[in-house]
Chain A
Amino acid sequence: GEDVEQSLFLSVREGDSSVINCTYTDSSSTYLYWYKQEPGAGLQLLTYIFSNMDMKQDQRLTVLLNKKDKHLSLRIADTQTGDSAIYFCAERKSDMRFGAGTRLTVKP
């Protein structure tokens, strides 16, 4: 079964912030990742965070990690229609473990 859990859908209006949440179960995971999948395409790495960090910011993206609760979130500021995609949370142990993906829909 899956060790990484995400909600399946999120809908926001253009210009709003989006927050995609993820929980994982293995506290020994050293790296946690966010991947983006656009329609008809493979997965592309958006950002990652090392497990000893609480926060990482990269332009419009902010990743927050609560290691105590094993909770990871991805915040997209000023969400644009081009951000519509499926976002996968993943943890790295001996291999990559993915969540089911959150489909983000951005309405104009």
Chain B
Amino acid sequence: EAQVTQNPRYLITVTGKKLTVTCSQNMNHEYMSWYRQDPGLGLRQIYYSMNVEVTDKGDVPEGYKVSRKEKRNFPLILESPSPNQTSLYFCASSPAGTELNTEAFFGQGTRLTVV
């Protein structure tokens, strides 16, 4: 089954304690991205990756890191989480190419609370 898998689904952590949210896709997609969803703001892109070893900042990259060592995995790293990073996070993947209709497949989401 084609899917994007995020872990964990729920996480409560304390300020300053490093954490990683994993994302894995089994569709051999080149393009992967991370979004955060906040009430009234919709989805805002944090980082995206066009392919292995290629990552770029999205709209709200501050406080986050990513890596793309393999095609299937795109972890989101919070080196020193703060309460304003409390949010619902989504990972998405899609084939590369803007000229094609390329649907983005989403993970189930990770609800992060930083206290």
Binding site for A on B (CB under 8 A): 4, 31, 33, 35, 40-43, 45, 48, 58, 90, 92, 94, 98-99, 101-104, 106-109
Contacts and interface: CB of A to CB of B under 8 A. Distances in A.
A95 to B, nearest CB: 6
Interface string A86-108: 00100011111111110000000
A44 interface: yes
Contact of B103 (A40, A48, A99): A48
A82 interface: no
Nearest to A8: B40
A50 B33 contact: no
B48 A42 contact: no
B101 A50 contact: yes
Contacts of A50: 101
Nearest to A102: B42
A96 to B, nearest CB: 5
Interface size class, chain A:
20 to 34
A90 B40 CA distance: 15
26 contacts: A4-B42, A6-B42, A31-B102, A35-B106, A40-B109, A41-B109, A42-B90, A42-B106, A42-B107, A43-B43, A43-B92, A44-B106, A88-B43, A93-B98, A95-B33, A95-B45, A96-B33, A96-B45, A96-B104, A98-B35, A98-B42, A99-B42, A100-B40, A100-B41, A100-B42, A101-B43
A45 B2 CA distance: 14
Contact of B58 (A2, A42, A95): A95
Interface string A31-63: 101010000111111001010000000000000
A30 B43 contact: no
A31 B101 contact: yes
A4 to B, nearest CB: 8
Contacts of A88: 42-43
A23 B75 CA distance: 32
Given A44-B106, A45-B103, A30 B90 contact: no
